[in-house]
Amino acid sequence: MYSEKVMDRFKNPKFSGKMENASAVGEVGNMKCGDVMKVYIKVENNILVDVSFETFGCVAALASSDYLCEIAKGKTLEDAEKITSEDVLKVMGDVPQVKVHCSVLAQEALKKAIKEYKNKIFRI
């Protein structure tokens, strides 16, 4: 059902865990499937110097979150905002069609974190 690559990332995530002193956090959920994702970002000089996640969900949800963090780390805020669910799927490889929404949730959580960060920075 899942590729070896996806299963390996599920079993051995590289970016899992709550980030202390995060610059911002984005949280999203899907009521239909029950997946909940939090993406933490640490921003310095407009660059995502660290990204991590906490995800409650299925294999695809955890793998999507982890791969998203891998893609986003080191990018500018502007480049990170351009990450799409298709970008996540390209890195993940094959996932069942019914699980594609997990990649959408992951990129939505990142965008929400970036929006929260910008709101903090640009408040008057």
Domains in the chain (CATH in brackets) are 4-118 (3.90.1010.10)
Beta bridge partners of 47: 44, 76
Q: Out of 16, 33, 58, 87, which one is annotated catalytic?
A: 33
| Contact between residue 53 and residue 77 where contact means Cβ atoms under 8 Å apart | no
102 is catalytic: yes
The confidence band for 8, taking pLDDT boundaries of 50, 70 and 90, is very high
Q: Out of 19, 37, 71, 102, which one is annotated catalytic?
A: 102
Q: pTM for this one?
A: 0.92
CA atoms within 13 A on the CB side of 87: 18
Residue 110 burial (10 A CB sphere; 0-12, 13-18, 19+): buried
Write the pLDDT tens digit of every residue in 27-55. Answer: 998 777 788 999 999 999 999 999 999 99
Q: Taken in order 60, 58, 37, 10, is the CA torsion positive or negative? A: negative
33 is catalytic: yes
For the cut 90, the answer to whether the pLDDT of residue 76 exceeds it is: yes
Q: Which of 4-18, 39-53, 55-69, 94-108 has the lowest mean pLDDT?
A: 94-108
Tokens at 98, concatenated: 């019914």
Mean pLDDT in the chain? 92
Dihedral Cα 6, 10, 14, 20, nearest 10 deg = 140
Highest mean pLDDT among 32-36, 93-97, 104-108: 104-108
